[in-house]
Chain A
Amino acid sequence: MGTFIVRRFLQMIPILILISLLTFLLMRLAGPDPAEYMIMLNPRIKPADILAEKIRLGLVSPDGKPLPLISQYLNWLGNLAKGDWGWSRIWPNQTAFGAIMLFLPNSLILMGLALLLSIIVAVPIGIYSALKQYSSFDYTFTTLSFMGMSLPTFWLALMSIIIFHLLPYRVFGFPLFPAGDIVSFGKPYAWQWYDRLWHLALPVLVLAITHMAAWTRYMRSSLLEVIRADYVRTARAKGLPESKVINKHALRNALIPMVTILTLSIPGLFGGALITETVFAYPGVGRMLYQAVVGKDYAVAMADILFLALITIIFNLVADILYAVVDPRIRVS
Chain B
Amino acid sequence: MAVADTALELAPSFSYWNMVWTRFRKHKLAMFGTIVVLFMILVCFVGAPVYTALSGIDYSSQNLQDRYAFPSAQHWFGTDDLGRDVLIRILYGGQISIEVGLIASLAAIVLGSLIGVIAGYIGGWVDEALMRFTDVMMSLPYLPLYLVLAMAFTPGFWTLIFIFIAFGWMGDARLVRGVVLSLKNMEFVEAARAVGSSSWRIMGTHLLLNSMAVIIVSTTLAVGGNIVGEASLSYLGLGIQPPMPSWGNILQNAAEFMFAPRNGPWLIFYPGFFLFLTVLSFNFMGDGLRDALDPRLKNAN
A interface list, Cβ under 8 A from B: 14-15, 18-19, 22-23, 26-27, 29-30, 143, 146-147, 149-155, 158-159, 161-162, 166-167, 179, 221, 224-225, 267, 270-272, 274-275, 278-279, 289-290, 293-294, 296, 301, 304-305, 308-309, 311-313, 316
What mask results when residues 221 to 245 of chain B are scored 1 for a CB within 8 Å of chain A, else 0? Answer: 0001000100110011110000000
| Inter-chain contact B284/A289, CB cutoff 8 Å | no
Contacts of A301 in B (CB 8 A): 148
Contacts of A267 in B (CB 8 A): 141
What mask results when residues 116 to 155 of chain B are scored 1 for a CB within 8 Å of chain A, else 0? Answer: 0000000000000000100110011111110111011000
How far apart sit A224 and B237, CA to CA, in the bound complex (Å)? 43
For the complex formed, measure the closest distance between the CB of B29 and the CB atoms of chain A, giving whole angstroms: 7
| Inter-chain contact A290/B139, CB cutoff 8 Å | no
How far apart sit A148 and B149, CA to CA, in the bound complex (Å)? 28
| Inter-chain contact B272/A158, CB cutoff 8 Å | yes
| Inter-chain contact B287/A275, CB cutoff 8 Å | no
Contacts of A15 in B (CB 8 A): 135-136, 139
Chain A to chain B contacts (Cβ below 8 Å), 18 pairs: A15-B135, A22-B140, A26-B148, A26-B149, A30-B152, A146-B29, A150-B280, A155-B272, A158-B268, A162-B258, A162-B265, A166-B259, A270-B141, A272-B143, A289-B144, A293-B238, A309-B140, A311-B141
How far apart sit A162 and B145, CA to CA, in the bound complex (Å)? 30
How far apart sit A309 and B139, CA to CA, in the bound complex (Å)? 8
Given contacts A274-B144, A312-B139, contact A155 B258 (CB under 8 A): no
| Inter-chain contact B258/A161, CB cutoff 8 Å | yes
Contacts of A316 in B (CB 8 A): 139
How far apart sit A311 and B141, CA to CA, in the bound complex (Å)? 9
| Inter-chain contact B144/A305, CB cutoff 8 Å | yes
Contacts of A22 in B (CB 8 A): 140, 145
Contacts of B268 in A (CB 8 A): 155, 158-159, 162
Please give me the residue from chain B that is nearest to A267 by CB atom.
Answer: B141
| Inter-chain contact B141/A312, CB cutoff 8 Å | yes
How far apart sit A180 and B141, CA to CA, in the bound complex (Å)? 26
| Inter-chain contact B152/A29, CB cutoff 8 Å | yes
For the complex formed, measure the closest distance between the CB of B9 and the CB atoms of chain A, giving whole angstroms: 21
B299 at interface by CB-CB < 8 Å: yes
For the complex formed, measure the closest distance between the CB of B142 and the CB atoms of chain A, giving whole angstroms: 7
How far apart sit A166 and B269, CA to CA, in the bound complex (Å)? 13
| Inter-chain contact A294/B251, CB cutoff 8 Å | no
Contacts of B40 in A (CB 8 A): none
For the complex formed, measure the closest distance between the CB of A266 and the CB atoms of chain B, giving whole angstroms: 12
Given contacts A18-B136, A146-B283, A154-B251, contact A293 B151 (CB under 8 A): yes
B107 at interface by CB-CB < 8 Å: no
Interface of chain B, helix or strand or loop or mixed?
helix
How far apart sit A267 and B138, CA to CA, in the bound complex (Å)? 12
Count of chain B residues with Cβ under 8 Å from any Cβ of A? 42
| Inter-chain contact B251/A158, CB cutoff 8 Å | yes
Contacts of A14 in B (CB 8 A): 132, 136
Contacts of A278 in B (CB 8 A): 236
For the complex formed, measure the closest distance between the CB of B55 and the CB atoms of chain A, giving whole angstroms: 29
B276 at interface by CB-CB < 8 Å: yes
For the complex formed, measure the closest distance between the CB of A224 and the CB atoms of chain B, giving whole angstroms: 7
User: B249-296: which have CB < 8 Å to A?
Assistant: 251, 254-255, 258-259, 265, 268-269, 272, 275-276, 279-280, 283-284, 287
| Inter-chain contact B251/A305, CB cutoff 8 Å | no
B15 at interface by CB-CB < 8 Å: no
| Inter-chain contact A166/B140, CB cutoff 8 Å | no
Contact partner of A152 (CB less than 8 A), chosen from B135, B232, B301, is: B232
Shortest beta-carbon contacts, A-B, top 6: A155-B272, A30-B152, A271-B143, A150-B280, A308-B141, A150-B279
Contacts of B143 in A (CB 8 A): 271-272, 274-275
Please give me the residue from chain B that is nearest to A316 by CB atom.
Answer: B139
Please give me the residue from chain A that is nearest to B227 by CB atom.
Answer: A152
For the complex formed, measure the closest distance between the CB of A64 and the CB atoms of chain B, giving whole angstroms: 27
For the complex formed, measure the closest distance between the CB of B66 and the CB atoms of chain A, giving whole angstroms: 22
How far apart sit A260 and B14, CA to CA, in the bound complex (Å)? 43
